[in-house]
A and B are shown apart, each in its own frame.
Chain A
Amino acid sequence: MSVSALELTPRYPREKQILMLLNGDEAVAYATKQSYVDVVAAYPITPQTIIVEKFSEFVANGEVHTEFIPIESEHSAMSACIGAAAAGARAFTSTCSQGLALMVETLYIASGLRLPIVMAVTNRALSAPINIHGDHSDAYLMRDSGWIMLFVENVQEAYDTTIQAFKIAEHPEIQLPVSVHLDGFFLSHTMENLYVLPDEAVYEFLGGPRKPIKVKVDYFDEEVEYTLNPAKPLSMGMLAFYDYYFEIKTQQVETMKHAEKVIVEVNEEWYKLTGRRYGDGLVDAYAVDDADIVIVIMGSSASTVRSVVKKFRERGVKVGVLRVRSFRPFPRKTIAKLLKDVKLVAVLDRAVSPGSMGALYLDVISSLYTEKERPIVINYIYGLGGRDLSPPLVFKLVEELSEDLQKGFVPEERLTRYLGVRE
């Protein structure tokens, strides 16, 4: 239900699009192929492997002009993307879990240098114990790295968002890296029907190859491209102490705030092109307006929750779902507006900060703090290590929440709960 009802005729209606059967990884690879990417540097890791495998086939077949760098580690993969993007290329990589953990140091460099790299993350649990399945612990690890983080719900959205990610990252007012998060195995390895655009539509949407922005420096009279070019040499990766570090980070923070507007714009532009959009681009709300209970969630499980919630709605239970699509920037105002009049909110986190609570929960409650009337907000930790959030479990959840709502009070020790763990 993330596809809203059509209010206009898109430039590429369904009959002009191509129906394909792909898994999430293949959809991301296909979107990358169409996005005229100059450099792909990646190291294989389950469940991301198919993205790079598939893309290397496109390279081997001569279907893309991309320079493909099969590199020796994820740290090097991101480093190669940083170098490529600094030289003006459109760069892409993909990883997850341990690979993402190894990459973390360079993630901060990509965002700090303001390089519009796009990365697909097939969310997977972090070791130990070793696990290859989908949860959000790797995504939460990169939460503060300065990347724009978009969580998708299905394979169609993985395709759509990968293309949008280049547009958002390279927007002249943004110039930040973007990660597209699809749940490992739930999306990466699940085949779904999806509509893809013809190549020329994507080319046109992205405005052709990447166009680096212009910057002004003291030593050139005219503005120059923000790229490493021997004819107009620039120094990137400079030292900045207490004199300038704060200012440079402030630029990043302010740009990240502004990115909300751009994500919304790109979502609308995509709607006009394809007829598909995902809420306002930041959050995708279902039956929230008159709801007493709202379940807040990110990623693929939103579909399961929504399908169960629909059944409760048919019975007259006023429950809704708020799927957060943009985790960074976190749409605080939108979320506060949507949740302030709700009575009970359950935030479902697929990872936890031991000793604290789920990262999504913390963001949601802090967004609500400035409201005069606030709902009760409960944190549920679910699906760690890829444990399925099954429809019966969601049924139990909504029933439990309905009881809490009747009581009208939740004691402090019941504010954090596990969903689906053996007690």
Chain B
Amino acid sequence: MSLKSWREIPIGGLGFKLSTEIKTGEWRALRPIIDQNKCTKCLICWLFCPEPAIMWDGVKVEVDYDYCKGCGICAHECPVKAISMVPESGGE
């Protein structure tokens, strides 16, 4: 990503690109992994995710790793302990 000079950006620190272009997932230290065999699709993780980075297509619950900051609220709230937090460096 090339950064712009002070002459190229609008005044006042105005957001000049869409927030979706800012991949906050880069901040993540711990990665939530959903065990699909345990997941009951109760969507409590979806409800609690502050981002929101839990995706639900009607079939499967998945994490949007572009924006998930790895806070771990989903893992904490999951009633069946289907989500585990794995360090990014040694993850998967």
Contact = CB atoms under 8 A, between A and B. Distances in A.
A8 interface: no
Contacts of A236: 12-15
B6 A217 contact: no
Interface string A393-417: 0000000000000000000000000
Contacts of B80: none
Given A235-B15, A235-B19, A238-B15, A215 B10 contact: yes
Nearest to A219: B18
Contacts of A366: none
Interface in B1-35: 3-6, 9-19
Contacts of B6: 246-248, 250-251, 254
Interface residues of A, number: 27
A218 B9 contact: no
Contacts of B5: 247
Is chain A's binding surface mostly helix, strand, loop or mixed? loop
A247 B18 contact: no
A217 B14 contact: yes
B17 A248 contact: no
A217 B8 CA distance: 11
A243 B17 CA distance: 14
A226 B12 contact: yes
Contacts of B13: 112-113, 236-238, 240, 244-245, 248
Contacts of A248: 6, 9, 12-13
Interface string A222-249: 0000100000001111101001111110
B15 A247 contact: no
Given A215-B11, A246-B6, 17 more contacts: A112-B12, A113-B13, A175-B11, A215-B10, A216-B10, A217-B10, A217-B16, A217-B17, A218-B16, A226-B10, A226-B12, A234-B15, A238-B14, A243-B3, A244-B3, A244-B9, A248-B13
